[in-house]
Amino acid sequence: MLASSRVVASTKLWTGLALQKRQFVLTAATTAVGALLFSENNRLANQMERGQLHRKDARESNSEASQPFFKRKEPNYPGHIPLYNFEKLLMVLGSSIGAYTHPEKNQFIVALGESTAIAPVLRRLQHQMLSDPVGRQILHERPRMTSTSLNLDYLKSLPENTIGRTYINWLEKEGVSPDTRVAVKYIDDEELAYVYQRYRECHDFYHAITGLPIIIEGEIAVKVFEYMNIGIPMSGLGALFAPFHIKPSQRERLYSIYYPWAFKSGLNSKPLINVYWENILEEDINEFREKMGIEQPPDLRALRKEYFAKLKAAKKIV
């Protein structure tokens, strides 16, 4: 019995060992053959055969370079960069963080504006323009604000109460120049891109007719006004989040005076997007404001001066 069990045990041991040996031999043989067949040189030789290794001519459009994995659609207008949806989403996220932390840097505002100005918003604006004769004229003629269309010397020569003169006065008061605004690149439809470009270029005029300065408070006030009138999402986001950055005293002033003014004027006035600024430079500004239904807000710089004077006086006493 002992002998047979020993035989059984040693048989089991022998088959176990043989199995292990066979496994090892098979694995080693497979590895060796594989190393011979799929060596680096063979792999490169296969690639060379398929023509994937060298480019025959540096100028010849290589099959891989001409059909890369990542391809963009054709642009719809010069300067257009068609983005995929995930890229637009990333741009919204990145630029909103950037615009919140660094609102003075233009690239964030530009990117946030273009990526959040989605087609439904711009299409609504386009329809608004198409329903108005002047708006139709603007879309037809597509005026762009350049140094020739806004000749500063001519504007200076206009009488005092005209829109053009008010504009140039505001520019000089704030110390800015009407430099060309950044071209729209990321909006896909060509006409909607023009609508957004028009919005961007008219921004300074909105400042001029309301008299708001370029300091952050003034910009926020203009943004709220713009949002209530025109409805671009970026201005709405600015109106919501930008006040968290400024001093409490400024915020209080904004909320108590300028926000109510912006809501009232923005909602009750006629659409600003349908104003053909270049053609009404000689019109009287007070008539224009009345016609449009825009009230002028209190002068922000004057308010600030008053406030600082009060503070100084208070400190002097205390």
Partner 1 sequence: MSLRSGPRTLARANGSIFGTIRRISGINAVRTYANGTSNGKEDTTHFGYKTVKKEDKEKLVGDVFSSVASSYDVMNDAMSLGIHRLWKSHFINRLDAGMRPGSNRALDFLDVAGGTGDIAFGLLEHAQKKYNDTSSTMTVADINPDMLREGEKRYLNTKWNDGSDRVKFLVQNGEIMDQIEDNSKDVYTIAFGIRNFTNIQAGLNTAYRVLRPGGIFACLEFSQVENPALDYIYQAYSFSLLPLMGQLIADDRESYQYLVESIRKFPKQEEFKGMIEKAGFYVPEKGYENLTFGVASIHIGVKL
Q: Which residues bind partner 1 (CB under 8 A)?
A: 40, 44, 53-55, 58-61, 65, 68-70, 72, 74-78, 81, 84, 86-87, 90-91, 94-95, 98, 105-108, 111, 130, 136, 139-140, 142, 190-191, 194
Closer to partner 1 by CB, 84 or 255: give it.
84
Closer to partner 1 by CB, 271 or 293: give it.
271
Tell me, rounded to whole angstroms, the distance of Cα 224 from its chain centroid. Answer: 18
Closer to partner 1 by CB, 92 or 294: give it.
92
What's the CA gap between 281 and 283, in Å, rounded?
A: 6
Nearest approach in angstroms of CB 183 to partner 1 is 12
Nearest approach in angstroms of CB 132 to partner 1 is 11
How is 201-219 classified by DSSP, letter by letter? HHHHHHHHHHT--SSHHHH
Closer to partner 1 by CB, 44 or 267: give it.
44
263 touches 294 (CB < 8 A): no
Closer to partner 1 by CB, 76 or 296: give it.
76
Nearest approach in angstroms of CB 267 to partner 1 is 27
Nearest approach in angstroms of CB 276 to partner 1 is 15
Closer to partner 1 by CB, 105 or 291: give it.
105
Closer to partner 1 by CB, 153 or 179: give it.
179
Nearest approach in angstroms of CB 144 to partner 1 is 12
Closer to partner 1 by CB, 138 or 262: give it.
138
Q: What is the greatest pairwise CA distance in the chain? A: 127
What's the CA gap between 261 and 208, in Å, rounded?
A: 16
Cβ neighbours, 10 Å, residue 59: 7
Cα torsion 173, 176, 180, 185 to 10°: value is: -110
Nearest approach in angstroms of CB 86 to partner 1 is 7
Query: Phi and psi for 160 in degrees, rounded to 5?
Result: -60, -40
Closer to partner 1 by CB, 78 or 159: give it.
78
Nearest approach in angstroms of CB 117 to partner 1 is 16
Nearest approach in angstroms of CB 134 to partner 1 is 13
Nearest approach in angstroms of CB 42 to partner 1 is 14
Beta strands in the chain (DSSP E): none
